[in-house]
A and B are shown apart, each in its own frame.
Chain A
Amino acid sequence: MSSPAPQPSLRVSVDLNLCQAYAQCCYAAPQHFRIEGHEALFYDPAPAARDRADIERAQIACPVQAIRVEDKSHEGA
């Protein structure tokens, strides 16, 4: 896991009800997703904008489409 950037530009959330631990995201963006134990997905909810391509690859690779990614640009607080 990379250390969190001071001003992360992406927001990631995974529906862990849907997640089946196929770990495709871990191959696509290993620095932001990992499987702990048999099937616990751990992910970075606030990756830096420079990693957008990896994160989007992970999102597309998810067989159950459980990954949601958005820009943080609208956030005020």
Chain B
Amino acid sequence: MGHGQPSRALVIGAGLAALRGAEAMRDAGFSGALTIVGAEPYRPYDRPPLSKHVLTGEIAPDATTVPSSLGEDVDWHLGSPAVSLDRADRLVHLADGTALTYDRLLIATGTRARPWPNPHEGRLAGVYTLRGRDDAIALRKALTSSPQRVLVIGGGLIGCEVASACRQLSLPVTLVQPGPAPLARVLGRYIGAIVGAMHEARGVDLRLGAEVEWLEQANGRLVRAHLVDGTAIEADIALLALGAMRNTEWLDGSGLSFDAGGVDCDADGYVLDVDGRPDTAIAAAGDVARFPHPLYGGRRIAVEHWGHAVAQGVHAGRLLAGDKPERCYAALPAFWSGQAGVTLKSVGLTAGADAMTIAQGDPATGRFLAVYGREGRCIAAVSVDCGRWLPAYAERIAAAEPFPPEETVIDRAGSPAILAPGFS
């Protein structure tokens, strides 16, 4: 690659990583044919507003199409997902029967919402998942039809944001979370409990350590949810916020190394075959790509964040255009979330944290920054309405500086307490 005149680039997926990857290919001088294939009928759009301002009606669902520098020289093939990849003939087959050839291929098929384990219950009227624009349109419609109570099943970022949007709409909402605190998987129990209390203060009925066993219907509509402890919650709307599943099934038979956790990539960003050899005609980016992150011991991780989709999309696009970035992809994971009236921001990965400290502010005031450590190194930081401090800690995390961080606390005397972050 990078010599001769390449003829055909194919981007499978039409989300943010796909778009930024396609743009990066063009920016890096790729002048061949470029086709972008999307399962949904829409040009790439921003997902973060779907669980926030689209639900509250402040942003129209179709207003979230993202800005793009791509011109007319792109062939959009929307509304039909890829169903198989034939690497021997460099062909991708789509559900509508189309077969597209490629010289270089970007895999950016993203994720979908994890379905309810009982498919019949999952299809009841009143039961929703939230991943795409159409999901948000349907949920918004349901929320504006004067529901009795909204039940949110799952206390991750999406579940918490939707519960928050319900309270903004003055709707009664119950959030059921199997763990001891909302957001416990990503923030740990300690910070999760603080954010949980903020949700409760705004009227969210939080059921922790609780699990929905089955959904009861009447005339095909959800009427109540039965919990494992024998109690029931009357609700006519339920949002299943059970996390995401990566869209890798279409790679069956491709000879690539993948599973439900993503498609494996090497440090450059090329995908690996089942024998661990890179296929230099194919790169992957975004939620679906599992890559070795140098900051986390080269452990392969897949990151579902907005900023990652942008940065890794650009990296993969340059790679495929023959403008190989000097360094391996190593962007620090980062996300934000608006919920319970505050802005949560995070840099790094909290997974595996064995210690934590409140480095700035004070949870009692609702504004603070927590730093997470693992084996004596800073690995992540989370701010709650305290975002301006975050870049300084991002640098410490990128440099794997010692934990607890030194000389950071200026607004109180003594050493900051080392706390248990609460990951189990």
Which residues of A are interface residues toward B (Cβ below 8 A)? 1, 4, 8, 11-13, 15-17, 19-21, 36-40, 42, 44-46, 68-70, 72, 74-77
Contact = CB atoms under 8 A, between A and B. Distances in A.
Given A8-B63, A21-B387, A37-B342, A70 B53 contact: no
Contacts of B48: 16
Given A45-B64, A75-B43, A39 B385 contact: yes
A68 B336 contact: no
Interface stretch (B70-78, B124-132, B211-219): B70-78
20 contacts: A8-B63, A11-B68, A15-B307, A16-B306, A17-B307, A17-B335, A20-B388, A36-B338, A37-B343, A37-B385, A38-B367, A40-B338, A42-B58, A45-B46, A45-B65, A68-B67, A74-B68, A74-B71, A77-B41, A77-B42
B260 interface: no
Given A17-B336, A69-B67, A70-B68, A45 B49 contact: yes
Given A68-B67, A74-B70, A17 B60 contact: no
B255 interface: no
Nearest to B310: A15
Nearest to B66: A13
Given A4-B60, A45-B46, A45-B59, A39 B387 contact: yes
A12 B67 contact: yes
Contacts of A17: 306-307, 334-336, 345
Contacts of A40: 338, 342-343
5 nearest A-B residue pairs (beta carbon): A70-B67, A46-B63, A11-B67, A38-B385, A17-B307
A45 B66 CA distance: 8
A44 B379 CA distance: 34
Interface string B33-54: 0000000011100101100010
A38 B343 CA distance: 8
Contacts of A38: 342-343, 367, 385
Contact of A1 (B58, B68, B307): B58
Given A17-B306, A37-B343, A11 B65 contact: yes
A30 to B, nearest CB: 16
A77 to B, nearest CB: 5
Contacts of B68: 11, 70, 74
Majority secondary structure of chain A interface residues (helix, strand, loop or mixed): loop
B69 interface: yes
Interface size class of B (residues with CB under 8 A): 35 or more
B261 to A, nearest CB: 24
A70 B367 CA distance: 35
Interface of B: 41-43, 46, 48-49, 53, 58-60, 63-72, 76, 78, 306-307, 310, 334-336, 338, 341-343, 345, 367, 385, 387-388
A77 B44 CA distance: 10
Contacts of B49: 45
A16 to B, nearest CB: 5
A8 B67 CA distance: 12
A19 B306 CA distance: 14
A6 B25 CA distance: 33
A20 B76 contact: no
Contacts of A1: 58
B341 A37 contact: yes
A17 B68 CA distance: 19
A11 B42 contact: no
Nearest to B70: A74
Contact of A13 (B46, B53, B343, B385): B46
Contact of B53 (A16, A20, A42, A74): A42
- Of the candidates A68, A72, A75, A77, the one having the most CB atoms from chain B within 10 angstroms of its own CB is A77
A17 B42 CA distance: 25
Nearest to B335: A17
Nearest to B338: A40
Nearest to A75: B43
Given A40-B338, A45-B59, A74-B72, A13 B345 contact: no
Contacts of A20: 387-388
A12 B68 CA distance: 10
B58 A4 contact: no
A45 B63 contact: yes
Nearest to A22: B388
Contacts of A19: 336, 387
Nearest to A1: B58
A69 B66 CA distance: 9
B365 to A, nearest CB: 11
